[in-house]
Amino acid sequence: MDIKGDRRGLRVLAVGFADEAALVEDLERTLAQKAPFLGAAPLTVEVDRPLTPTLLAAVGEVFRRHPPLSLAGIQQGSVARPRPLGATAERAPRVVRGSLRSGQDVQGSGDVVVVGDVNPGARVVAGGDVFVLGRLRGEVAAGQPSRRTALIWALDFQPTQVRIGDIRAIPDGQAAGVPEVAAVDGDRIVVTRWTSRLPAAGPAPGVNVPERAAWPRRASSGSRS
């Protein structure tokens, strides 16, 4: 795996791997070897495969293990055919690079990916899924206005409020300190460990870790303006 620099900054060329596991393993090895020479340089990871939730989570976790390196973004190179992250296949995801501060409001008609933190007082609203490759401590609404099958993913899940479709919930104050995903189960929102498998809507089959939180329904209307 090579690291190249040009007018766009430093790029990690993570291409030509047979699967995601091999890519992540080589990325871990590359950053471990070259971190002393890179300092706090922000790096963009360029891949030649679809940007799946499992790949986003794994790359984010690798960078968390190698401070002070920072992840500037993850993008598909010219070899890959772009594909949206979630169920809104007709819309390309909106990617926000950098943390959101209090008062910032990001909206997207499809999936929204934040490469950074969502701090208290910031808000993300998406028609599809929401992916936070950092700490989620603000407000997030996914599947707006009424799609309950949407998901909210975060490497550190501590939101002030979440909404999926027409269901809204206030967090329970617990902090697991591991990547987690929120989904609708019946008339409530549940939070489970973000594993290497994609949970489906509802009770999230494929996630084999017990839920740590079940939040009651708080509202039946769409997201507030």
What CATH number is given to the structural domain containing 189? 2.160.20.70
* 108 and 62 both lie in a single domain: no
Among 4-8, 55-59, 80-84, name the one with the lowest average pLDDT. Answer: 80-84
Angle between helices 53-64 and 20-38 (to 10 degrees): 30
Question: What confidence tens digit (pLDDT) does each residue in 23-70 have?
Answer: 999 999 999 998 888 877 788 899 988 888 788 888 888 888 888 888
Same domain, 131 and 61: no
Do 40 and 69 form a contact (C-beta atoms < 8 A)?
A: yes
End-to-end CA distance of the chain: 45
- The predicted pLDDT at position 195 comes to 63
CB-based contact 177:158 (threshold 8 Å): no
Do 52 and 151 reside in the same domain of the chain?
no
Distance CA 93, CA 114 (A): 10
> At residue 156, does pLDDT exceed 70?
yes
pLDDT of residue 36: 82
- For residue 145, being part of any structural domain is answered with yes
Q: What percent of the chain has pLDDT over 70?
A: 78
Mean predicted confidence (pLDDT) in 81-93: 48
Q: How many domains does the chain have?
A: 2
Evaluate whether residue 221 is within a structural domain: no
| Mean pLDDT (whole number) for 9-19 | 89
Among residues 79, 109, 76, 81, which one has the least CA distance to residue 94?
A: 109
- Structure confidence at residue 65 (pLDDT): 86
Pairing of strands 188-193, 9-14: unpaired
Q: What is the pLDDT of residues 161-209, one digit of tens each?
A: 999 999 999 887 777 777 888 999 988 999 988 764 444 444 333 333 3
